[in-house]
Amino acid sequence: MLTVMTFTILLCWVCALGGLMTYTSQSQTSVWDTKLQAIATRIMLVIPADKVGDMQDPPSVDGQIPGDVTQARLKLREDALDASEKQNSLNFQIWENGKRLIGRTPNAPATPLQPSFVDGFSSVTIDGQRWRVFSLSDSTNSVFVQVANLHSLIDREMRHEAFTALGITTALLVFVGFLMACAVRKSLEPIKDLDSAVRARHKFDLTPLPAVPLPTELQPLVASFNHLLKQLDQAIEGERRFIGDAAHELRTPLSALQAHGQIALRASTVEAKDAALVKLLAVAQRSTRLSDQLLDLARLDAGVNVSHQGTSDLSELLVYVAHEFDIHAQQNGRSISLAPEPCRIACNVDEIGILLRNLIDNALRYTTPGGRVRVSCGYGQSTGSTPGEHVFLEVADDGPGVPQSEHAHIFERFHRVPGSGGRGSGIGLSLVAGIAQLHNAVIHTGTGLDERGFRVRVQFPMPPDTER
């Protein structure tokens, strides 16, 4: 920060230098032009109009130009000469009819300072020296006054003024930079204390950081960091809870696998061994399904597939997933009927596939032998708090159903409906709820087929630019 401030002050110094040089140059030129114009005007006003034509040319002496009245000028004391006279700087000439020089300062050139005698300002070079000249004529264009000053004097005064202003500006900038550095160091002291406090914390200590001693400008940053710490703490707590629940859920099937394996090893007959192996296979299948659901739940919590969304045809996905359960349904004496209507939703295909599999598997698991499961999708009209057209996905069965009091809890993790006989892990419908939330979908539950059973309806928002 101090480095940025230093470069900022240096940049301001350079800009101030350029601005001062430009302003001083223009200001000094303007000031001297004003002076030249004022002097010329004063000289013109003091010349007697009735005496101009009576002035006689003095005799030529030492090759001086006739009409140069400065040959007869009065002598002044040396200490009375102006500094500009000594430096041969400010001079003037008085011309009659642009031809006769009737007066000039001692150091003024004998030739016209402005040969064209045009009124106004001009810059000329005479004997290698640059002059700034102002020429002024009377109303009859018979008398001309030309006042000039050396450019070198103007430049010298300009440099003096510029360096003086630059010195003052530099001192001010240095002083301001010192004050800013002190203020920044003082403001950053609480941050250093905060850094020390954070480094001294133990692992997984995610308590909020104090924001009171910090500058007001930095408090929103600390508040945002505390919000992030809170989210991280919730995520870690969720992971701990997930690991604990997963360990608890896996303990039972793993124990069952071990028990049925031991029974199969100790079986004295082939029939007993086959029976134990059948139970062992059923537990293994349940464990495999449980592992898949746990992995899906972990991926959902981590948000692995959140960004991979696109528009897909829900009916095609429904048919594809439902056919995966055909053999399983036939082996267990259940039937699956499909009622797909072509419709498109903005979704992650893998996540919607997980949602469908869990809904169909849950319906088949809780339906009695000979029962039916219907899977449908299409467009519909929303009711309740979200009116309007939507895309729906519905899975309904004619099983024993779910008590109305349990509808609000069956989507919680590891929740089992009382009286379910230990069927299910309590993960499937929680996956459905999590995926629906990621897709801004709304879940409705109700009675299934033939006024019995259970129905789950997921309402997805219409994708943008959808034409029906």
Q: In this model, does residue 371 exceed pLDDT 70?
A: yes
Name the pLDDT band for 56 (thresholds 50, 70, 90).
Answer: very low
The answer for residues whose C-beta is within 8 angstroms of residue 403's C-beta and 6 or more apart is: 417
Structural domain that includes position 377: 306-460
Structural domain includes residue 186: no
> Tell me, what CATH number does 120's domain have?
3.30.450.20
User: 403 pLDDT band (50/70/90 cuts)?
Assistant: confident
Q: C-alpha distances in angstroms, 146 versus 38, 74, 332?
A: 11, 21, 121
Domain limit, last residue, from 160, 191, 212 = 160
Q: How open is the CA angle 147-149-150, to the nearest 5 degrees?
A: 150
Amino acid (one-letter) located at 116: S
> If pLDDT is split at 50, 70 and 90, which confidence band does 439 have?
confident
68 or 287, higher pLDDT:
287
Predicted confidence at residue 68, as pLDDT, reads 44
Report d(CA 359, CA 318) in Å as an integer.
Answer: 11
Are both 233 and 336 inside the same structural domain? no
Q: Select the more confidently predicted residue: 354 or 215.
A: 354
Domain count, the chain: 3
Q: Of 18, 20, 29, 27, which is closest to residue 130 (Cα–Cα)? A: 29
In a domain, 184, yes or no: no
Number of H helices, E strands in the chain: 9, 12
**What count of residues does the chain have?**
468
Domain membership of residue 41 (yes or no) is: yes
Whether the pLDDT of residue 37 is over 60: the answer is yes
**197 lies in some domain:** no
Same structural domain, 11 and 151: yes
Backbone angles phi, psi at 445, to 5 degrees: -120, 155
Judge whether residue 13 has pLDDT over 90. Answer: no
Do both 300 and 419 map to the same domain? Answer: no
pLDDT at 209: 81
Q: What is the pLDDT of residues 454-465, one digit of tens each?
A: 999 999 988 876
* Bigger pLDDT: 35 vs 22: 35
Question: Is 310 a domain residue?
Answer: yes
**Dist. CA 194–CA 197, nearest whole Å:** 5
Is residue 210 domain-shared with residue 133, that is, in the same domain?
A: no
Question: For residue 79, what pLDDT is reported?
Answer: 52
Q: Is pLDDT at 373 greater than 90 in this prediction?
A: yes
Q: 224 and 296 share a domain?
A: yes
pLDDT above 90: residue 347: no
8 A C-beta contact, residue 411 and residue 436 = no
pLDDT class for 316, splitting at 50, 70, 90? very high
**Quick one: pLDDT band at residue 6, thresholds 50, 70, 90?**
confident
Give the largest CA-CA distance in the chain: 159
Say if residue 67 is in the same domain as residue 108.
Answer: yes
Pair (326, 284) in one structural domain = no
Q: Exposed, middle or buried, 96 (CB in 10 Å: 0-12/13-18/19+)?
A: middle
pLDDT digits (tens, 9 = 90+) for 196-218: 878 888 877 888 887 777 777 77
Q: Is pLDDT at 71 greater than 70 in this prediction?
A: no
* Residue at 171 is within a domain: no
Q: What is the pLDDT of residues 250-292, one digit of tens each?
A: 666 677 778 778 888 888 888 888 888 887 887 777 677 667 7
